[in-house]
Structure 1
Amino acid sequence: MLRNHTDNNLLISLKQGDMAAFNELYFRYSKRLMAFSFTFFADQQLAEEAVQEIFVRVWERRKKLDETKSFKSYLFQAVKFYMYNYIRDRKKDCSLDVLSDDNVIGARNQEDDFTYNEMEGMVMELIEKLPKVQKEVFKLNKLKGMNSEQIAHHMKLSKRTIEHHIYLASKSLKKNLLENPTLSLLIFANISF
């Protein structure tokens, strides 16, 4: 029975074109991968498409799979890359400012190294590392909802200076977030640049 086989053994069979090994890997991971994918795509259909696409790629690239590495990690990384590419390819078609509350990505059970709270903590750490004025301006604007005019009045600085600090802080955060698409999605879901 294939259920008793390790992922490594199944991958060896899969590389030889064994459809039963593929099916076992699919049934072994598809539900967990769907739950993980759903943390990125609040839309069930998009989450399903991501999982299906990843397994299609697994089949197509089966001969190149490395059975000595964790297949589970490979799958979850594939979801992250799929999500990152999906956002990158569609960023011209949508504005983060028009996302409705229904599209906000929330914390759901997931098979990943980070919980939602840990990711949120990491985002806050990135914000805390900003230079003092940028950090203060960014927090007032993005977390407290104040516009640049209100912040300028509050901090006794010009509106143009405030806008420049918001730009610099956003640019710095985006650069850091490119290294971690999961955090990027979290911050984009909660803070619109």
Structure 2
Amino acid sequence: MEAKNDEKGLAACYVRQKEALKHYIASRIDRPDEAEDLVQDVFERLWSHKDFIHPEAVLTLTYKTARNLITDRQRRYRKEDDMYGELLYTQESLQDTTEEKVSFKELKLMFDRLVFALPEKRRKAYCLSFFEDLTLSEIARELSVSKRTVEQHILLARKDIKAQLRKEYFRYG
């Protein structure tokens, strides 16, 4: 009987708090359009632990979970941005010597080859996001998948490309 009450309490919290939580999250992330997904993630996480949550702690845990998910998300994006920043910095810092131009072209060709080698859906999601600058929602509609699936495809594509670039770079460098 207590589990049913916990479920009802969590469902009621969702109904009462989803908009406020969405605004809370949107004000703390770079891409406010992803706030709704994070709200869903918060309640999904709480739901998976509903048997251990005391009814009076639901609201506190909701915002604590949101803060943790925001922090995790920011760390993930910061790591990914570092890789692109390094690539751009390398390009900008290159002198106009022939050798450096050739090195950059080789790196660019390697990057393009790695993108092309990705599985089809992953490659499409990655290209639509970074070359056409579409939002997760737009990509999800284009590929007929959920926004979470798009996010996973992009994350995995970045990991694959980064790992292969490191592997290739150290082979030749």
TM-score, with length taken from structure 2 = 0.42
User: Which of the two has greater helix per residue?
Assistant: 2
| Bigger relative contact order (CA 8 A; separation at least 6) | 1
TM-score, with length taken from structure 1 = 0.38
